[in-house]
Structure 1
């Protein structure tokens, strides 16, 4: 189990990407697959830092990476900010986003397309995002 704990400051996203890249680099993943996974983890962490915690450096984010050697990797991201009600998430209409030239709103859809399993839950005073990718 690998872990990374940091503050919810936007500039910490680079360190999170570097941590995930290092962990994945030791697993023998194809470079393209590793970049996709890094993108998905970065997107979730960015959303939690920006939206759930309003970039408050006094708040914290915890990232755990589990590699059991069974050709899958599990990420668990925990924060203590405002929870995300995943059960209310509706995938955006891509055509409408293009037509309106809207920026943003595609992150969760991207994450769901990259990862094999994505789960958000609110437990006690914390938010947990659990993602799994087989390789």
Structure 2
């Protein structure tokens, strides 16, 4: 089953994204923890696209597509700006060092990589796409 959503690049659309993912997954008999993991991962990637790749430019937009197929949840988030946004590989950060430095932020993609089974960023033409997948039983 596939669902699609297009949003403008503004943080005020993040609740709409979370609701979209939750509503799509509510049609399946999934544990609440799995639903919450996918909602959080999608929210983080979309927020990164909005803030870091698009500078919250509401003239730009993102397309989200969710597909639940058999035992897999697949999410594709496509950014249509001309900026290529490919975050680097995220290592396991030294949390005690983050605390010592009083750092805020910078942990989101590490969390996404822990929540999802596969996280891939790639380009399609001159646009950036993120594919997230999670295997479910």
Aligned equivalents of 1:38, 1:112: Cα separation in 2:
13
Which residue of 1 is the match for residue 36 of structure 2? 35
Aligned equivalents of 1:90, 1:67: Cα separation in 2:
26
Name structure 2 gaps, 5 residues minimum: none
Which residue of 1 is the match for residue 46 of structure 2? 45
Deviations 1:29-72 (A, max 9, x none): 1112101110000000000001101111100000000111x111
Which residue of 2 is the match for residue 14 of structure 1? 15
Give the TM-score taking structure 2 as reference length. 0.92
Are positions 1:72 and 2:111 aligned together?
A: no
Name structure 1 gaps, 5 residues minimum: none
Which residue of 1 is the match for residue 106 of structure 2? 105
Aligned equivalents of 1:51, 1:129: Cα separation in 2:
14
CA RMSD between the two structures? 1.2
Aligned equivalents of 1:29, 1:90: Cα separation in 2:
28
* Matched-pair contact (CA < 8 Å) for 2:7–2:61: yes
Aligned equivalents of 2:89, 2:116: Cα separation in 1:
17
Give the TM-score taking structure 1 as reference length. 0.93
Aligned equivalents of 1:72, 1:23: Cα separation in 2:
13
**Structure 1 counterpart SS, 2:29:** coil
* Matched-pair contact (CA < 8 Å) for 2:84–2:126: no
